[in-house]
Structures are given as structure tokens and as C-alpha cells.
Amino acid sequence: MKVLIIEDETKLANALSRGLRQESYATEVYNNGEDGLAAALHDEYDLMIIDRMLPGKEGLEIIREVRSKGIRTPVIVLTAKGQIRNRVEGLDAGADDYMVKPFSFEELLARIRALFRRPSDAVDTVLKVGDLTMNTSRSEVRRGKKRIKLTSTEYALLEYLMRNQGRTISKDKLIGHVWDFDADILPNTVEAHVGSLRRKIDKPFAGPELLQTIRGFGYRLEAAS
């Protein structure tokens, strides 16, 4: 099995290559985005491991370009950014899995094995609150039969609320799970995004409102009983 590694941290790239070779994988390593993209487009690989932040061309740009050419090779993204919004962006770009640094090499091997166990027609994961559904495999949101278009931040907010349906989630928790830890996000920024999300998933529909504001505590997504 041939693995393409695009990672600008030379020490990490070499460690990954050495470890994978010890596991009988063939590897090629590139330390910048432009050379890595050229290799991805002009050679055949069984797996690509791509860092998100690269000199020359950003990792997600590489994935989008590879996918636009019809290349379906599995891709694992490496990143220091572990927030839901960042994972959503990576998966939306066409990645198959997402690993947050630092990670153990044993976990990487397990993720690789899991990728190649997946059937081509894997069952979609669908979250449901009332008549609101989110297909996380397709990054698709619907209320009833109507598809709803969301920004990556709105999608990340909604996914976190849907995974915690019926629970009141504070603004601080939303900031911690949706935005980067080092981001300077104010509570009124959360309010603005929640308001925009509500206008898309609740206001246009005749059914009961699902996204509730719990004064002094936060927000709750819940189907009417």
C-alpha cells in the first residue's frame, strides 16, 4: 500500500514515514502544499495524509482540488485545530477522517485500518430532532422535505446542539466546542449565529420552534412533546 504524506513539520513527517514503513507501507513525503498537490494529481496512492496548514497551498485546498479531479483516494487530515467547525470544514472539503495533533501513532494505524474496512456504501449517520434531520455523512440538513443551507459555523452549532438535544447548553460551552480555543469570541457573537440559525431552521416553518433560548442559561434544541 502506497501512502502520500504532505506535512511541513519535518520531524513529524519523517516519523510518520518511518513508522508506516515499519508496518510495510510504502511512503512518499512532501513538505509543502504545491509539491504535495502535484504528486497527488500525477501519481496513484492508496491513502493520503495531509496537514491542514501548509506552505504554498493550504491542506483543504489540496483536498478540494484532488476531489474536483475525480480522485477518490481516502484522505486523513492532520491539524492542531480540533473544534467541531474545523472538523466540519475538513470533511466538507472531501476528507475521510480528521486527526488532531498531538496523536499517537497507534491511533493513526487504527484509523487507517478503519478507513479500509468501510464499505463503499457505508450507512449514513442521521441525527434527528422532531422533523429536523442532519445527515452527517453528506453534511445535509433538512426540515421535513426541505433542504436547509447552512454556513460551516451554523452547521457546527446545529450539530453540537442536536447531539445534545434536550440539554441546555451555555454560551461558554458553545464557544468551547465550535470555535478555536484561542479565538476571541464574545457572547453576542454566539447570539448572532444562533439567531441566524433560528431564522433558517425555525422561522420559515409552520411547526413548533425547536431552538429555544433559556434565559440566563443558554440554548436548547428540543422537539415539542
- Candidate CATH numbers 3.40.50.2300, 3.30.950.10, 1.20.1600.10, 3.30.365.10; the one for domain 2-117: 3.40.50.2300
Amino acid at 214: I
pLDDT value, residue 188: 86
**Mean pLDDT score of the chain, rounded to an integer?**
88
- Give me the residue spans of the domains in the chain: 2-117, 126-221
CA distance 30 to 39: 9
Cell numbers given for 101: 495533533
Q: Could you tell me what percent of the chain has a pLDDT over 90? A: 53
**pLDDT (mean) for 166-174:** 90
Indicate the pTM of the whole model: 0.59
pLDDT in tens, 87-144: 888 888 889 898 988 899 999 999 998 888 766 544 457 889 999 999 876 778 999 9
Distance of CA 218 to the CA centre of its chain: 24
CATH 1.10.10.10 is right for the domain spanning 126-221? yes
Strands 26-30 and 47-51, sheet pairing:
unpaired
pLDDT value, residue 177: 73
Long-range pairs for 110-115 at CB < 8 Å and ≥24 separation?
A: 111/76, 112/47, 112/76, 115/47, 115/74, 115/76
pLDDT in tens, 36-54: 999 999 888 889 999 999 9
